[in-house]
Amino acid sequence: MIRRKNTKNKKKQSNFAKLSIFQNNKFKFKKSCPLSVKGAPIVDYKNIKLLKKYISENGKILPSRITNICQKKQRELSISIKRARNLALI
Amino acid sequence: MNLYEHTIVVKQDTSTAQIKKLTEKYSKIVETNDGNIVQTENWGLLNLSYIIKKNKKANYIHFKIKGNGKIIKELEKNESIDQNLLRYMTVKVKKFDLETNYFSKKDEIEKKENNKN
């Protein structure tokens, strides 16, 4: 068991170690979208707790390149944030 | 038949009796137009994130309606005249989420905390 864990850690570390400025984009470490994982919360204009995570302090919608959200979910998010704004919830 | 979520924002200084009257009034409009109200939620007095017509707080009432588009036309016609309302919004949905209630949970948690204290 210990050996297996070690090998996993090594793989991750090596992935990070490869990162550099002069590198191809292919090898860049990319996080998966947090809202399209299994068991992720549903994007809804009533779910203010979730929406508040994805707006800045001034109430602007954060770009997906910062939050790592996929295009489909980002569209849903922006619509539901605008709905919540209209009802003065956010 | 379509499914709609309808929320109305009522001014802060309306009494609970008045709010009840409003909910009855609008649910009657739905029923007279061959509609069906699946669920009504009263979210209670919430803080507005920005001031609307000199109101800092507002009561929210949420309807889940099953019916034709005619109902929404009739509802919004009546609501645009109503002086007790600040905002209203309808959203067409494909499926109702009847289990999760994002606003009642908060109250329960707060109540529990108060009880502990």
B-chain CB neighbours of A86 within 8 Å are 87, 89
Give, for B88, the enclosing helix (H) or strand (E): strand B85-93
Nearest to B49 among A45, A83, A90 (CB): A90
Name the one residue in this structure whose structure tokens are 């919430």: B46
Identify any residues that bridge with A34 across adjacent strands, giving them in sequence order: none
Whether B48 sits inside 8 A of A44 (CB atoms) is no
The per-residue pLDDT of chain A, averaged, comes to 76
Both tokens of A24, joined, read 């191809």
Residue of A nearest to B43 (CA): A46
Beta B55-67 vs B2-10: how paired, if at all?
Answer: antiparallel
pLDDT (average), residues A67-80: 90
What pLDDT, on a 0 to 100 scale, did the predictor assign at position A81?
93
Q: Which position has the higher pLDDT, A89 or B104?
A: A89
Residue of A nearest to B6 (CA): A87
* Weakest-pLDDT range from A19-28, A51-60, B37-46: A19-28
Q: Determine contact, residues A73/A43, Cβ cutoff 8 Å.
A: yes
A47 Cβ under 8 Å from any chain B Cβ: yes
What pLDDT, on a 0 to 100 scale, did the predictor assign at position B4?
93
User: How far apart (Å, rounded) are the C-alpha atoms in residues A47 and B33?
Assistant: 31
Whether A86 sits inside 8 A of B89 (CB atoms) is yes
User: How far apart (Å, rounded) are the C-alpha atoms in residues A45 and A77?
Assistant: 8
Name the one residue in this structure whose structure tokens are 């000199």: B54
What pLDDT, on a 0 to 100 scale, did the predictor assign at position A11?
47
Residue of B nearest to A85 (CA): B49
Q: What is the ipTM of this complex?
A: 0.80
**For residue A89, is pLDDT > 50?**
yes
What pLDDT, on a 0 to 100 scale, did the predictor assign at position B105?
56
B-chain CB neighbours of A42 within 8 Å are 97
What pLDDT, on a 0 to 100 scale, did the predictor assign at position B89?
93
pLDDT (average), residues A65-79: 89
Sequence-ordered alpha helix ranges (H) in chain B: 16-32, 69-81, 104-116
Nearest to B87 among A48, A59, A86 (CB): A86
The per-residue pLDDT of chain B, averaged, comes to 87
pLDDT digits (tens, 9 = 90+) for A30-45: 678 888 888 888 888 9
User: How far apart (Å, rounded) are the C-alpha atoms in residues A19 and B93?
Assistant: 44
B87 Cβ under 8 Å from any chain A Cβ: yes
What pLDDT, on a 0 to 100 scale, did the predictor assign at position A10?
47
B3 Cβ under 8 Å from any chain A Cβ: no
Q: Which residues of chain B have pLDDT under 50?
A: none
B70 Cβ under 8 Å from any chain A Cβ: no
pLDDT digits (tens, 9 = 90+) for B66-99: 999 888 998 899 999 999 899 999 999 998 887 7
Q: Which position has the higher pLDDT, A54 or B97?
A: A54
